[in-house]
Amino acid sequence: FPSHDKGQEVDVIVSAVLQSAIESYLEVLQAAGLEIYSLETESQAVARALIPPHDTKTDLIIHFGARIVGLYVVSHRLVHFTSTINRLESDDASNSLIAEVKKVISYWNTERSASNERTIQKIILCGSGLDESITETLANSFQLETVLGDVWENAFRPDIVVPDISFTDSLS
Each residue's pLDDT tens digit, 15-70: 888 999 999 999 999 999 999 888 889 999 999 999 998 898 999 999 999 889 99
How far apart are the C-alpha atoms of 97 and 133, rounded to whole Å? 13
Contact between residue 35 and residue 43 where contact means Cβ atoms under 8 Å apart: no
Tell whether the model's pLDDT for residue 1 goes beyond 60. Answer: no
What mean pLDDT is predicted for residues 97-117?
A: 83
Tell whether the model's pLDDT for residue 151 goes beyond 70. Answer: yes
Contact between residue 123 and residue 145 where contact means Cβ atoms under 8 Å apart: yes
How far apart are the C-alpha atoms of 172 and 169, rounded to whole Å? 6
Give the pLDDT score at 2: 44
What is the model's pTM?
Answer: 0.82
Q: Percentage of the chain surpassing pLDDT 70?
A: 84
Quote the mean pLDDT of the chain. Answer: 85
